[in-house]
Amino acid sequence: MKFIQQAIDKVKPAFEKGGKLEKYYFLFESIETFLFVPKETTLRKGVQIRDGVDLKRFMITVVIALLPALVFGTYNVGYQYYQATGLEPAGSWDLWWIGIQRVVPIVIVSYVFGLFITEFAFSVIRQHPINEGFLVTGILIPMVLPPTIPLWQVAVATVFAVVIAKEAFGGTGMNVLNVALVARAFLYFAYPGFMSGDQVWVYLGGHTPVDGFSGATPLGIVASTVESGQNAVAALLEHGDHYSLGSMFYGLIPGSIGETSVLMILIGAVILMATGVGSWRIIVSGFAGAYLMALLLQVTGVNPYMQMAPVYHLVMGGLAFGIVFMATDPVTASQTNTGKWIYGAMIGVLTIIIRVLNPAYPEGIMLAILFMNVFAPLIDYYVVGANKKRRLKRATV
């Protein structure tokens, strides 16, 4: 590391003001600060708050929290492959290898086109520093996509999301919408055939699925009961034991790469809440809002989907992943404590409403979070206004 530091110090003058490569300074700075702690310190005079957590460490904590779901998702891709094709793996490594072959290229494309092409280009053009925000976004985008997604679509969606949802608003910390969800929404509406349907969730590698195999997600199965009238739980179990409540909690089911295992997601949630990186208020209120809304619909339900037990909603689809890793995005979420309770609860409520009352779109977490991203500033505005009125009332008594 000392050799690398010496090499960086040697070429640094060329990137500083007046140097031949001055316009590439922020590009150079991003690489230097990623490898080493910045040398700048707080002023010696005046009151300063010193904290060892900077943006880089904040984002790395989120990445660490994402790893359990990502690692499990990689394994699950291989598991679903062998379930679908009927082939027999020689060992567990075969499952891992299939998953690695599908997941790693998607992650690489996300980083290459999002960070090394788009963000670096904007850094040079606009002459502003590159922040570490895409460290998280670069992993989130692949995790919310099916394993069968073409790589060129990942590249297009990533560039679109970074440019439209992030750079158009001024860069890291200025975006109104969650960047990873914008990428998913773009693909869902631009290329719906690659984002919905039974077979998009299971990689087949050119093989024909065995007779009787269905790559349908639990949400897709349950949504079909609205027309068939079949009991929702019975419909799930009809597709096999791996659609039971326990199996869905562990995550060996078809679905997006990182969204299937609620257990792994909850491990990530504990990391986020223990470190203070993720808001426990949003996470708790998000799950509570979803549960209570599902309970209300169960009591008043007129079709099998509405009458399904609320606990099933918590383990199906991307609800858990969205609440833990998307809703808690500190940039696009509410900032006040009261606002976080409202923001999280509304995401949970809207997710269930979209799922159950709009069977054409069985997954509702993406639209619910994007919708509440827009309303987060308004929630904080009224919360702050109410606090001011309450304090003024106390002061005048």
Q: For 188, which DSSP code?
A: H
Please provide the average confidence, as pLDDT, over all residues in the chain: 86
What is the amino acid identity at position 235? A
The domain segmentation of the chain, as residue ranges, is: 58-207+223-382
Give the per-residue pLDDT at 24: 63
Would the pLDDT of 35 be above 70?
no
Other C-beta atoms within 10 Å of 227: how many?
10
- Six token digits for residue 384: 């702050």
Other C-beta atoms within 10 Å of 207: how many?
12
What is the amino acid identity at position 74? T
The model's pLDDT over 198-236, given as tens digits with 9 standing for 90+, comes to: 778 899 988 888 887 778 888 888 888 887 888 888 988
Give the per-residue pLDDT at 225: 85
Give the per-residue pLDDT at 31: 59
- What's the rounded Cα separation, in Å, for the pair 315 and 194? 23
**CA proximity to 356, closest of 283, 279, 293, 286:** 293
- Six token digits for residue 39: 């040398």
- Six token digits for residue 258: 């990182």
- Six token digits for residue 341: 């309770």
The model's pLDDT over 97-137, given as tens digits with 9 standing for 90+, comes to: 999 999 999 999 999 998 878 877 777 776 666 666 788 99
Give the per-residue pLDDT at 150: 95
Would the pLDDT of 241 be above 90?
no
pTM: 0.87
- What's the rounded Cα separation, in Å, for the pair 45 and 39? 18
Backbone angles phi, psi at 172, to 5 degrees: -55, 130
Give the per-residue pLDDT at 359: 67
